[in-house]
Chains A and B, each alone.
Chain A
Amino acid sequence: MKDSKWTWRSVSLISIAATIILIVGFVSAVGDILNPQGEALSTALPQETAVPTAAAGDSMRILALGDSLAKGTGDNDGSGFVKRTLDGLSADGGSAELLGNMGINGLTTAGLQTKLKEEGVRYALRQANIILVSIGGNDLFRGSEILGNATEGQGAATPGPSPSAAAENQDAASSVHATGTIDGKNSALVTSTPKPGEDELTPESLLAALPDAAKRLGEILQTISEINPQAQIFYVGLYNPFGDIKDLLVPGNQAVTAWNNAAMDIINTHSNMTLVPTFDLFNRHLDKYLSGDHFHPNGDGYQRISERIIQAVR
Chain B
Amino acid sequence: MTNLLPLIRNECTKIIKKKRFYVILLILLVLVPMFTYAQMRIAERSRDKFNSDWRLEVQQQITDNQNSLGSDRIPEEWKSYRRIFVQQLQFYLDHDVNPNEPSGVTFTREFLDNSVSLFIPLLIMAVASDLVSGERTTGTIKMLLTRPVKRWKVLFSKLVALLMFVSLIVLSVFVISYLISGLAFGYKGFSIPVFTGFQLSGDTVDMTTVHSVPQWKYLLMQGGLIWFVSVVVAVLAFMVSVLVRSTAASIVVMMAALIAGTILTNMAAAWTTAKYLFMVNLGLTGYLAGTPAPIEGMTLSFSMAVLGVWGIAAIIISFAVFTKRDILN
Q: Are A16 and B95 in contact (CB under 8 A)?
A: no
Chain A contact residues (Cβ within 8 angstroms of B): what range?
A: 35 or more
B-chain residues with CB within 8 Å of residue A97 when the two chains form the complex: 51
Instruction: Write the B194-215 contact mask toward A (1 if CB under 8 angstroms, else 0).
Output: 0011010001000011111100
Chain B contact residues (Cβ within 8 angstroms of A): what range?
A: 35 or more
Q: Are B69 and A102 in contact (CB under 8 A)?
A: no
Minimal beta-carbon separation of B162 from chain A (angstroms): 11
Q: Are A36 and B197 in contact (CB under 8 A)?
A: yes
B33 close to A (CB within 8 Å): no
Minimal beta-carbon separation of B183 from chain A (angstroms): 23
Q: Are A104 and B199 in contact (CB under 8 A)?
A: no
Q: Are B67 and A121 in contact (CB under 8 A)?
A: no
Minimal beta-carbon separation of B51 from chain A (angstroms): 7
Minimal beta-carbon separation of B59 from chain A (angstroms): 4
Q: Are A30 and B66 in contact (CB under 8 A)?
A: no
Q: Are B86 and A163 in contact (CB under 8 A)?
A: yes
The distance in angstroms between the C-alpha atoms of A42 and B193, with both chains bound, is 13
Q: Are B59 and A27 in contact (CB under 8 A)?
A: no
Interface residues of A in 146-171 (CB under 8 A from B): 159-161, 163-164, 166-167, 169-171
Q: Which of A16, A38, A71, A120 has the most CB of B within 10 A?
A: A120
Contact of A38 among B9, B50, B197, B203 (CB under 8 A): B197
Given A18-B167, A101-B63, A124-B56, A166–B70 Cβ distance below 8 Å?
yes
B62 close to A (CB within 8 Å): yes
Contact of B221 among A7, A28, A123, A174 (CB under 8 A): A28
Q: Are A41 and B210 in contact (CB under 8 A)?
A: yes
Q: Given A23-B224, A41-B210, A167-B70, 11 other A-B contacts at CB below 8 A?
A: A4-B13, A11-B164, A12-B12, A19-B227, A22-B227, A33-B287, A33-B288, A38-B208, A118-B90, A119-B94, A163-B69
**Interchain residue pairs A-B with the least CB separation, the first 10:** A26-B224, A25-B224, A29-B221, A36-B197, A36-B209, A22-B227, A170-B70, A15-B164, A120-B59, A25-B220
- 15 residue pairs bridging A and B, Cβ less than 8 Å apart: A23-B224, A23-B227, A28-B220, A30-B300, A33-B300, A44-B96, A46-B55, A99-B51, A100-B63, A101-B63, A102-B63, A120-B94, A166-B70, A170-B72, A174-B72
